[in-house]
Structure 1
Amino acid sequence: MVKSQTILHSPVASSPPIPVAEPEDAGLRRDVLDRVDLIIQKQYPKMRSFLLLHAGKLIYERYYGGHGISSLNDLRSATKSFTSALCGIALSRGELPDLKASVTDIFQRYVPQRAHPLLRNVSLHHLLTMTSGFAWQTGKKLGEPLIHRFHRNRKWTSFALSLPVVEQEMGRFQYRSTDSHLLSVAVSEATGMDAYTYARQYLFEPLGIRHAAWSPSPEGHSMGHIGLYLTSRDMAKFGQCCLDGGQWQGKPVIPETWLKQALAPQVKGYPAFGDYGFQWWTGIQNGSVYALAHGHGGQQIYLFPQLDAVVVFTADSKVSRWKNPRVLLERHILDTLKSAAASAE
C-alpha cells in the first residue's frame, strides 16, 4: 500500500500559498475524504496527488509515491487547456487575429507550396475545437497512431499543415493533438515569443507560478499538446482562476469572455469523455456540470462551477494502462460537495 503524505499547512518557498480551510469549516465530511485517501493508497499505486479546493480554499491535499508540494507533474494532454488560455490572452491583447482567421494567414511561412486546396478554410476556431478536418487516426481511448510519426519529424508545423483536409470531417470533432500544437505555434507567430515565455509573463507570473517547465518542439516552439510540467498546487491555482472567471486574487488574468466559450461545449465530443470546448472536455457528472483538463495517466483538473469546487489528480504519466480516478468523484467526492452546497442554501 502506498502511504499518503498530508502537508496542507507546510510552507512553500517557490509558490505563494493558496488560502486553506478545514473540511468541516466548508461543510464537507472529512471521513469521506479520508476514505478517498485510503482507496487511493490501496487501489491507485500510480497516483501522485489528490487536491480539493472549495470556495477558493484548499480543503484537502494528499501526496503519494514520494511526491510532494514541490514535485513537478508531467501534465501530458492537460497541457492543451493551458495552451487554450494563452490563446485567449493573446486574442484579448490584440496579438492573435479573429477566431475565424485562416491558418494560411496565421502560418504564412509554414504553408506548403502545394497546400491542400481546403487548407485556407481551416480556421483558428477549428483548431481550438479539434474540428479542422485534417486527416488523422484516433483510437477508442484517445490513442493517436500517427502521433509517433509527427514526433519523429523535425518540422512539426509543416507536418501538421501538410495533412490532407477531409471536407466531410470539417466541423466534426476528432481528437487530434496536431491541432493543439498549431495553437502554440500561433501564439509564437502572433507574439514573437514561444508559449512558455509568453505564459511566464502573462499567466504564470500573475498566478505566482515560479516552478515550471515546458518542453520545446524540434523547431523551438513550446509543445502545444503536451510537455508542460507544474506542481499540483499550481495546477489547482490555474483551475481556481478558470473557475473564478479568469480572476486570481482579485486581478484579471484570463479573459472571462474567453473562458465562457472555452469551458462550454462547442462541439459534440466522445460519449466516454464528454463534449469539447476550447481544448477542455465538458459534461455532466452525477448531475453536476464540469469542465476537465485531462492528460494520459490521470493528470486531471476538474472544475465544478455549480459546486464551487476544483479537484486535481496527478499520477505517473509513463504508463500504458491506468485507472481513471473519475470513479472517486462519482462514488465519494461529489456527494459530500453536493451536501455542502445544499446546506449552504
Structure 2
Amino acid sequence: MQNTDVSLPRKSPEELGISSKNVIGFLDGLKAHNIELHSFMFLRHGNVAAEGWWSPYAPELPHMLFSLSKSFTSTAIGMAVHEGILTLDDQVISFFPEDLPEEVPHHLAAMQIRHLLMMGTGHDKDTMDALHEAEDGNWAKAFLSLPVDHEPGTHFLYNTGATYMLSAILQKASGQNLLQFLHNRLFEPLGIQHPTWETCPRGIHTGGFGLNITTEDIAKFGQLYLQKGMWQGQRLIEEQWIDEATSKQISNGDGGDSDWAQGYGYQFWRCRHGVYRGDGAFGQFCIVLPEHDAVIAMTSGTNDLQGVLNVVWEHLLDALLPEPVDVDEWSGELKERLEQLHLEPPQIGLDSLREAQIGGRTYKLEENELKIENLSIEFEKDAAVLTLQGFDGEHKLKLGRHHWMIGQSQLFNRQDGYFAGSFTWKTTEALLLTIRGIETPFCLSLEAQYQDEDTLEIQQGINVSFGPTEGKPILGRASME
C-alpha cells in the first residue's frame, strides 16, 4: 500500500478552483471516445484535487511508463551538467573511444549531448531496432556504427536510441547507472519508492523506456517541474535547466492541431495552450500547465494519444477557475464517480457442457511466436486455472468466472507482476479468457474455439501493441497430447 508519509496533500476540487462538473465531463469524454484510462490525478496549487483508478488498477501498483521514462533520463543529465560531470557540448564519441568505427564520419563527430536530448542526432530513422539486433549486446557500438544523414541539430527525428546513449554516457561519466544516480537526487526526496528500470544486455538502463513507478510518483515529478525544481524548500533541479528542457529546442512540425508538432525540448514535448508534457506509448502522461499552476498524471491502455489530450483540452482546461468555488450538486457526483471507476470483465454468461470435456486436459500447441508449448484449463465453480507451459517455464493463472481475480505472474515481463484475470463462454463452443497486466497497458485475450473432442483453435488478441492487435490466430491449433 501507499506510504502516506510521502503522499501529496489533498483538497477538494472546489477549494482549488476546479469545477467538478468539468471533471465529470472529462470522464464522460473518455467513455464517449472509447479511451481506456487506467488512472489519473489532477493537481492544482500543489494539491491533489481529483484522482481515480479504473479497478482492477490500483494506486499502490507501479505502471510501465514507456517513453515517459525519457523525461527522467533528461532530468538526470541536467543534474549531471549542474554538478560539472558533463556538459551539453561534449561530443558523444568522446565517451566511447573503444566502440568507434574505423573512420568517424563528420556528422557523427559533430554530435553532442544536446543533440541526443533534442532528438536532433541527424539520423533518418529510430536507431532502436539496430540496437536490439546487436549480436554482442553492445548497444552503444551499434548506435555509433549507423549512418548519420544530417548535420546534428538540424533535423528532428524521434529516436529512442538517442536516449539510451544519454543513459550510457551518464553511467560512463558518473560511475552510476540511472537508478543509482537519481536515488538520492530525485527519487528519495520525492518519496518515490522502489522504482525499477529495464537494462540492456550489458546492464545499462535503457533510458528511453523501461521505468516503472506509480501514478502519484508521476504527479510528483510533474509538480517538481511546475515548481521550477524546488521541493519542500530544497532545490533538486536548477531552474535554468527546467526552463531550457521544457522550451522548444527544435522544430518537429508546423503546429496546427497536433500536439506532436508544437516543438520539442530536452525529452519533453511542447503542447498547445502553453503546456508541456512527458509521454509514453499507449497513453502514459505527465502534463504540466504552468499558466494554471496545475499538473495532470495519467496511465492508460490506448493507441489514441492525441484523443486523450483532446479530451483534456476540451474539459479540464475549462475546469480551472480563477478562484475557489462553492460546493454544488456536481461535487458529490464526482466523488461517487471517482470511487466507482472500473473496467468490466467480459460477462456473456453462457454455460457450456464443454467444461467437463476439456477441463484438466493438456493440449499441445502448434509452433507459435509466443513459444507456448502446452495449455490446460481446470474449471472450478467461480474460477478457472489456466496453465501455460513454454520456453520460459510454467505460468499458472487463476481467472474469475465473470469477475476479476488478482494474481502474480511474469507473463507480462514484470517480475512477479500483478495481473487480473477472468473468463466467460462467448458461445457454448467458444471460451474467452481475459488477462490484464495491471502494472502494464496490456490486456491479453485468448479465445479457445472447440473443434472436436480433441482439438481447440486458439486465437489471441491484445488491446494495444506496436504491431497488430487482433484478427491474427497467433497460437493456432491445440490438440490433445
TM-score category of the 2 structures, normalised to the smaller one: 0.7 to 0.9
Task: Tell me, yes or no, if structure 1 residue 284 matches structure 2 residue 272.
Answer: yes
Contact 1:313 1:325 in 2 (8 A): no
Shift of 1:294: 1.1
Q: Partner residue of 1:103?
A: 92
In structure 1, what residue type is equivalent to 2:129? H
Q: 2:223 aligns with which of 229, 235, 240?
A: 240
Deviations 1:230-249 (A, max 9, x none): 10000000000011011111
CA 1:172–1:30: 2 relative to 1, 3 Å: same
Shift of 1:195: 0.9
In structure 2, what residue type is equivalent to 1:148? D
Q: 1:309 aligns with which of 289, 294, 314?
A: 294
Q: 1:328 aligns with which of 298, 306, 311?
A: 311
Q: Secondary structure at the match of 2:121?
A: coil
Q: Secondary structure at the match of 1:53?
A: strand
Whole-Å separation in 1 of the counterparts to 2:30 and 2:170? 38
Whole-Å separation in 1 of the counterparts to 2:224 and 2:6? 14
Shift of 1:257: 1.2
Q: Partner residue of 2:10?
A: 20
Contact 1:14 1:211 in 2 (8 A): no
Shift of 1:46: 2.9
Which segment drifts farther, 246-255 or 299-308? Answer: 246-255
Tell me how many residue pairs correspond in the alignment. 318
CA 1:44–1:191: 2 relative to 1, 3 Å: farther
Q: Secondary structure at the match of 1:276?
A: coil
CA RMSD of aligned residues (A): 2.1
Higher helix share: 1
Deviations 1:51-106 (A, max 9, x none): 1010111111011141111111111111111100000011111112x211111213
Q: 2:104 aligns with which of 80, 94, 115?
A: 115
Whole-Å separation in 2 of the counterparts to 1:191 and 1:44? 45
More contact order relative to length (CA 8 Å, sep ≥ 6): 1
Task: Tell me, yes or no, if structure 1 residue 260 matches structure 2 residue 243.
Answer: yes
Q: Secondary structure at the match of 2:297?
A: strand
Q: Partner residue of 1:188?
A: 171
Q: 1:293 aligns with which of 278, 299, 315?
A: 278
| Structure 1 residue ranges (4+ consecutive) displaced by more than 4 angstroms after TM superposition | 41-45, 319-323
Shift of 1:27: 1.4
Q: 1:132 aligns with which of 121, 124, 129?
A: 121
Contact 1:216 1:222 in 2 (8 A): yes
CA 1:341–1:111: 2 relative to 1, 3 Å: farther
Deviations 1:205-257 (A, max 9, x none): 11111132100111211111100111000000000001101111111111111
Whole-Å separation in 1 of the counterparts to 2:306 and 2:58? 21
Q: Partner residue of 1:73?
A: 63
Q: Partner residue of 1:140?
A: none
Whole-Å separation in 2 of the counterparts to 1:68 and 1:172? 41
Task: Tell me, yes or no, if structure 1 residue 152 matches structure 2 residue 142.
Answer: no
Q: Secondary structure at the match of 1:275?
A: coil
TM-score, normalised on structure 2? 0.63
Whole-Å separation in 2 of the counterparts to 1:79 and 1:15? 25
Q: Secondary structure at the match of 2:15?
A: helix
In the alignment, structure 2 segments of 5+ residues that lack a partner are 326-481
In structure 2, what residue type is equivalent to 1:223? T
Identity within the alignment, %:
28
Q: 2:49 aligns with which of 46, 54, 59?
A: 59
Whole-Å separation in 2 of the counterparts to 1:122 and 1:101? 9
In structure 2, what residue type is equivalent to 1:55? H
Which segment drifts farther, 254-263 or 266-275? Answer: 266-275
In structure 1, what residue type is equivalent to 2:264? Y
Task: Tell me, yes or no, if structure 1 residue 176 matches structure 2 residue 159.
Answer: yes
Shift of 1:42: 5.9
Contact 2:219 2:297 in 1 (8 A): yes
Shift of 1:275: 0.5
Larger Rg: 2
Whole-Å separation in 1 of the counterparts to 2:45 and 2:305? 30
Whole-Å separation in 2 of the counterparts to 1:198 and 1:110? 24
Which segment drifts farther, 21-30 or 270-279? Answer: 270-279
Q: What does 1:207-218 correspond to in 2, within 5 Å? A: 207-218=190-201
In structure 2, what residue type is equivalent to 1:91? V
In the alignment, structure 1 segments of 5+ residues that lack a partner are 1-10, 138-143
Q: Partner residue of 1:275?
A: 263
Contact 1:298 1:323 in 2 (8 A): no
Q: 2:189 aligns with which of 206, 213, 222?
A: 206
Higher strand share: 2
Q: Partner residue of 2:322?
A: 340
Deviations 1:142-161 (A, max 9, x none): xx5x5333223222111111
Shift of 1:131: 0.9
Shift of 1:12: 2.0
TM-score, normalised on structure 1? 0.86
Q: Secondary structure at the match of 1:310?
A: strand
